[in-house]
Amino acid sequence: MDRTRKANREDYERTFQYRSRQETLLGEELAEDQLTQLLAFVAELGETPAGAAQLQRRAKAFGECQRSEGESSSEFYARLHHWLDRVVPQTKIPLHPPRQTGPGDPE
């Protein structure tokens, strides 16, 4: 058996595991930053009258979007992002267009 080949393979495995841990940590930090920015956007949106109304319509149509216990930052970010991107269905559609009344129109 070639000892140098085995040693190289073991070194490669150690490097790969270390790199994977580093990449995982960076991914978690990135997800946390993205979630922080999205939550700040939602907070700012809630401060405007139109934004608050939009958030209320979304909550009524889809339910509240709160972080559940044990949910990772990336999972909650994806769920909140989807909640914000969904199209809110119209709740009131008039059956008939409003009547135009003006001078000379009989009522």
- pLDDT single digits (tens) 71-91: 988 899 999 999 999 988 776
DSSP-derived letter for residue 99 is P
In a domain, 105, yes or no: no
Please report how the helices 49-62 and 3-47 are oriented relative to each other, as an axis angle in degrees rounded to 10.
120
Under 8 Å between Cβ of 62 and 84 = no
Sort 96 into a burial class: Cβ within 10 Å, 0-12 / 13-18 / 19+: exposed
- pLDDT computed for residue 9 by the predictor: 75
In a domain, 33, yes or no: yes
Cα-based angle 90, 75, 53 (whole degrees, multiple of 5): 30
pTM: 0.59
Structural domain including 63 reads 3-85
Largest CA distance in the chain: 105
Number of domains in the chain: 1
